[in-house]
Amino acid sequence: MPEPSTPEPVISMRGATATLGARPVLRGVDLTVHRGEVVALLGANGSGKSTAVRSVIGQVPLTGGTVELFGTPLRRFRHWARVGYVPQRTTAAGGVPATIREVVASGRLSRTKLRLPGRADRAAVDRAIELVGLSDRAKDSVNALSGGQHQRVLIARALAAEPEVLIMDEPMAGVDLASQEILASTLREQVAGGATVLLVLHELGALEPLIDRAIVLRDGCVMHDGPPPEAVGQHALPGHDHVHPHAASEPVRTGLLT
Amino acid sequence: MLEFLNPPFMQRALLAAVLVGITAPAIGIYLVQRRQALMGDGIGHVAMTGVGLGFLLSTNPVWMATLVAVAGSVVMELIRWYGRTRGDIALAMLFYGGMAGGVMLINLSDTGSNANLTSFLFGSLSTVSEEDVTAILVLAAFVVLVTVGLRRQLFAVSQDEEFARVTGLPVRALNLLVAVTAAVTVTVAMRVVGLLLVSALMVVPVAAAQQISKSFKVTFVLAVVIGTAVTLAGTVTSYYQDVPPGATIVLLAIAAFIVLTALATPLARRRARDRGSEADRCTLEVPAARPAPDDVSV
């Protein structure tokens, strides 16, 4: 796995500012994710962590600062098949019934675009469903699934494009224990295969052993960028006036995965 | 036996009915999926101004309605993008302005009358002209081409717009295409079902189909089958009983919805029971020791 000093980071956000209405949500956020890294974005509700990832993929316009994906400025970035996005959702369902396979197949569109899917595309969709352990239910309606299974469908949809980086917004929200373990093992396989991951989490939980680096946001500013803080939720999170001594500039690798 | 097939006006009406039965649910399914089931209703109101303009300028009202409905649908899509806060008020202005404009223009024209107005509002069999049939055929072909040819892309955009944007699909263009296609469908359906009831045919067959289907594909096919069946049955009934076709068609569609819902209830109960027995097996085990509950196939 390349060292953090690799010249071209997968995600690079510099001095990002964003507002919601009149309220500043991001107030100069720097965020870098290198190839092969698993970075968690932590923070309390309203700290700007969700806005930060959504501006990385261009869903929230920045009022200042820059974002680069794979070294290309966001505005000129076109290779969306390299990015797998898992939005913050409690359901994968829409207004009309759809099967798990139909929803996951829509993730492949970043590669097929307007052409018809071929054999390789169908195989990739099947593989993505298998990765999250839902092969036996591929033809079931997503309406019949539990909260955790919905998240697994959303992750399979992102994996269907065989992306190089996974960007996930609260993938563990409302997920039962059994599904959390399946999600963690899916993620572990992806990371072992060289995938880069940026994920927003409310707490580290079942994913803790996978995380290389944690970035803690508070009121739209980076409070911590380094190894995952211990006892997240009591000490490192906003609301608790406690600054980590290692909150310095240089990211520290824990070596957990190398 | 098939005496209703003899009069030329009925042949035209039936052809138009089949095309409406296919196209309205085909675009309607994407509107229902986006939870914009009433968008067709709004476009129908706006199209009224087009009909009025057609009368006033003595051109074919179908083409004029298409033009105005398409323009209205584009404005509605723009309001959805930019006018988040007061979007609903802006849409209300557009809908009722369109309706009022249509009524006013028809009354100003020499050829238009209240009888004409009623036929556009609620549909009429005898008014489908040769010229209309050509227009309806061309427009229906466009709707089928879009809704079937781009089904994967439109499914993705309607299922989860934010995700679709991150796949790099031209989401804005596709949204505009859905709006324009819905507008075109409204004018296809206008002659037979009428502008006030067009939206029902976009929504009700889809709602009926999804009572018993698990997939998007089956919902799509079933909705088109239901749509075609009720438009044909409604048109024939209207011929024999001298009742307005639009109302007959919509009531038949709602009847289909009720029947399918009644059929689906025992089905859903059985599925729930199967899932219930799954839970029974695990109650006494330690959570960490048991396999994931969804490993059990239903």
**Structural domain contains residue B293:** no
Residue B172, CA distances (Å) to A58, A80, A133, A175, B162 in order: 14, 16, 34, 32, 11
Q: With 90 as the cut, is the pLDDT of residue A20 above it?
A: no
- The per-residue pLDDT for A231 is 54
Query: How many beta carbons lie within 10 A of that of residue A213, not counting itself?
Result: 21
Task: Report the share of chain B in percent with pLDDT over 70.
Answer: 88
pLDDT in tens, B251-272: 999 999 999 999 988 877 776 6
Could you tell me the pLDDT band of residue A246, with boundaries at 50, 70 and 90?
Answer: very low
Report whether A179 contacts B295 (CB < 8 A): no
Cβ distance of A109 and B219 shorter than 8 Å: no
Amino acid residing at B138 = V
Does residue A95 belong to the interface with chain B, where contact is any CB pair within 8 Å?
yes
Closest CA to B28 of B149, B181, B142: B181
**Structural domain contains residue B141:** yes
Lowest mean pLDDT among A44-48, A124-128, B58-62, B201-205: B58-62
Q: Which residues of A touch B165 (CB under 8 A)?
A: 58-59
Cα–Cα distance measured from residue A186 to residue B274, given in angstroms and rounded to the nearest whole number: 28
- The per-residue pLDDT for A2 is 47
Query: Which own/partner pairs from B286-295 qualify as long-range (CB within 8 Å, at least 24 positions apart)?
Result: B287/A177, B287/A178, B288/A177, B291/A178, B292/A133, B292/A178, B292/A179, B292/A181, B292/A182, B293/A146, B293/A178, B294/A133, B294/A134, B294/A137, B294/A145, B294/A146, B294/A149, B294/A178, B295/A133, B295/A136
Token pair belonging to B129: 């002209």
For tokens 């138009």, what's the residue? B16
Count Cα neighbours of B150 within 13 Å in the Cβ-side half-sphere: 24
**Structural domain contains residue B186:** yes
pLDDT in tens, A189-199: 999 998 999 99
Cβ distance of A98 and B216 shorter than 8 Å: yes
> Which run of H or of E encompasses A127?
helix A119-131
Average the pLDDT over B193-222 and give the result: 94
Of A59, A145, A178, the CB nearest to B165: A59
Residue B158, CA distances (Å) to A148, A150, B165, B257 in order: 23, 17, 11, 23
Look at chain B and report how many structural domains it folds into: 1
How many residues comprise chain B? 298
Q: Which residues of A touch B217 (CB under 8 A)?
A: 102
Q: Which residues of A touch B166 (CB under 8 A)?
A: 57-59, 80, 83, 85, 110
- The per-residue pLDDT for B1 is 64
Could you tell me the pLDDT band of residue A234, with boundaries at 50, 70 and 90?
Answer: very low
All structural domains of chain A, each given as residue ranges with its CATH number in brackets, are 11-87+163-226 (3.40.50.300)
Token pair belonging to A223: 């409070």
- The per-residue pLDDT for A249 is 42
- The per-residue pLDDT for B276 is 55
From the candidates B155, B160, B169, which should be mutated to test the interface with A, based on the most A CB atoms within 10 A? B160
Task: Report the share of chain B in percent with pLDDT over 90.
Answer: 51
Closest CA to A225 of A247, A203, A199: A247
The average confidence (pLDDT) of chain B is 86
Cα–Cα distance measured from residue B294 to residue A148, given in angstroms and rounded to the nearest whole number: 10
Of A109, A110, A146, the CB nearest to B152: A109
Q: With 70 as the cut, is the pLDDT of residue B90 above it?
A: yes
Q: With 50 as the cut, is the pLDDT of residue A175 above it?
A: yes
Report whether B104 contacts B52 (CB < 8 A): yes
Cβ distance of B214 and A136 shorter than 8 Å: no
Range of the domain at B44: 3-280
| CATH value at residue B241 | 1.10.3470.10
Cα–Cα distance measured from residue A137 to residue A100, given in angstroms and rounded to the nearest whole number: 7
Q: With 70 as the cut, is the pLDDT of residue B15 above it?
A: yes
Q: With 70 as the cut, is the pLDDT of residue A254 above it?
A: no
Q: With 50 as the cut, is the pLDDT of residue B298 above it?
A: no
Residue A173, CA distances (Å) to A89, A91, A148, B31 in order: 9, 11, 8, 29
Secondary structure of A182-239 as H, E, C letters: HHHHHHHHHHHCCCEEEEECCCCHHHHHHCCEEEEEECCEEEEEECCCCCCCCCCCCC
Average the pLDDT over B127-138 and give the result: 88
Q: With 50 as the cut, is the pLDDT of residue B34 above it?
A: yes
Helices (H) and strands (E) in chain A, counts: 6, 10
Q: With 80 as the cut, is the pLDDT of residue B244 above it?
A: yes
Q: Which residues of A touch B270 (CB under 8 A)?
A: none
Q: Give the DSSP letter of residue A92.
A: -
pLDDT in tens, A76-123: 999 999 999 999 988 889 899 999 999 999 999 999 988 999 999 999
Q: Which residues of A touch B292 (CB under 8 A)?
A: 133, 178-179, 181-182
ipTM associated with this complex: 0.85
Could you tell me the pLDDT band of residue B292, with boundaries at 50, 70 and 90?
Answer: low
Q: With 80 as the cut, is the pLDDT of residue A59 above it?
A: yes
Q: With 60 as the cut, is the pLDDT of residue B150 above it?
A: yes
- The per-residue pLDDT for B286 is 52
Report whether A240 contacts A44 (CB < 8 A): no
Query: Where is pLDDT greater, at B296 or B185?
Result: B185
> Which backbone phi and psi does B15 adopt, to 5 degrees?
-60, -45
Cβ distance of B287 and A177 shorter than 8 Å: yes
Cβ distance of B160 and A87 shorter than 8 Å: yes
Cβ distance of A117 and B159 shorter than 8 Å: no
From the candidates B30, B158, B159, B295, which should be mutated to test the interface with A, based on the most A CB atoms within 10 A? B159
> Which backbone phi and psi does A224 adopt, to 5 degrees?
-155, 135
Cβ distance of A95 and B33 shorter than 8 Å: yes
Closest CA to A11 of A83, A65, A59: A83
Average the pLDDT over A225-245 and give the result: 57
Of A81, A99, A106, the CB nearest to B156: A106
Collect all residues with Cβ–Cβ distance below 8 Å to A228 and sequence separation of at least 6: A40, A204, A208, A211, A213, A214, A254
Closest CA to B120 of B187, B202, B24: B187
In three-state secondary structure terms, A63 is: coil
- The per-residue pLDDT for B84 is 62
- The per-residue pLDDT for B4 is 87
Q: With 60 as the cut, is the pLDDT of residue B56 above it?
A: yes
Closest-CA residue of A relative to B156 is A106
Closest CA to A168 of A135, A131, A202, A124: A202
Residue B249, CA distances (Å) to A194, B3, B14, B244 in order: 58, 20, 12, 9
Average the pLDDT over B168-182 and give the result: 94
Amino acid residing at A213 = R
